[in-house]
């Protein structure tokens, strides 16, 4: 995915007070990334069961984008934070951008829901990287390697996860 920076941009990103962030979540579509982690042969996909709503089922690893970051840079940062993996943005393969709307969210009032525009990437890792994974438990309850066929045919997985996994297994 192309990423253009015009002029000398300097990020002034900061975490907002909860009262302000709630208003922001009610008023904007948030830019996010997701990183789908697979073994190099694409026979296994690593998914995490998130602690936060609305993603409290099996998902790829994701977070919001920070101002100035390319989607691949955001995904690289997220893989470091969530799994302890040092993955160059150049290794990330763009899969698709999806619009995700949820009736509920983590922040109060939860019933206001949320809308994210998520850029999905694929990263293929080797056995050494797989052995070095360290899950961030503040964000995830657990992680598990799945057979991709199980995810694409079994009920209980979000349609975005299924769609991106199909794209990942078909990518050449």
The domains located in the chain, with CATH, are 18-170 (3.90.79.10)
Q: What is the mean pLDDT of the chain?
A: 95
Contact by Cβ (8 Å): 33, 1? no
| Structure confidence by residue, pLDDT tens digits, 45-97 | 999 999 887 776 899 999 999 999 999 999 999 999 999 999 999 999 999 99
Q: Which long-range contacts (CB under 8 A, 24 or more apart) does 108-115 make?
A: 108/22, 109/22, 110/53, 112/22, 112/25, 112/26, 113/54, 114/25, 114/30, 114/54, 115/29, 115/30
Model pLDDT, residue 52: 84
The average pLDDT across 92-107 equals 96
Model pLDDT, residue 56: 67
Given a cut of 90, whether residue 10 has pLDDT beyond it is yes
């Amino acid at each position: 995915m192309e990423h253009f920076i015009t002029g000398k941009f300097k990020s002034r990103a900061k975490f907002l007070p909860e009262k302000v962030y709630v208003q922001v979540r009610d008023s904007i579509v948030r830019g996010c990334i997701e990183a789908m982690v697979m073994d190099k042969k694409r026979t296994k996909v690593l998914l995490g069961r998130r602690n936060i709503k609305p993603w409290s089922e099996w998902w790829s690893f994701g977070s919001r984008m920070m101002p100035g970051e390319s989607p691949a840079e955001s995904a690289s940062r997220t893989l470091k934070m969530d799994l302890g993996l040092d993955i160059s943005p150049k290794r990330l393969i763009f899969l698709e951008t999806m619009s995700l709307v949820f009736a509920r969210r983590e922040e109060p009032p939860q019933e206001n829901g949320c809308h994210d525009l998520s850029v999905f990437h694929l990263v293929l890792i080797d056995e050494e990287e797989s052995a070095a994974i360290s899950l961030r438990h503040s964000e995830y309850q657990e992680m598990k390697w799945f057979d991709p066929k199980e995810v694409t045919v079994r009920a209980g997985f979000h349609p975005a996860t299924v769609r991106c996994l199909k794209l990942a297994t078909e990518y050449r």
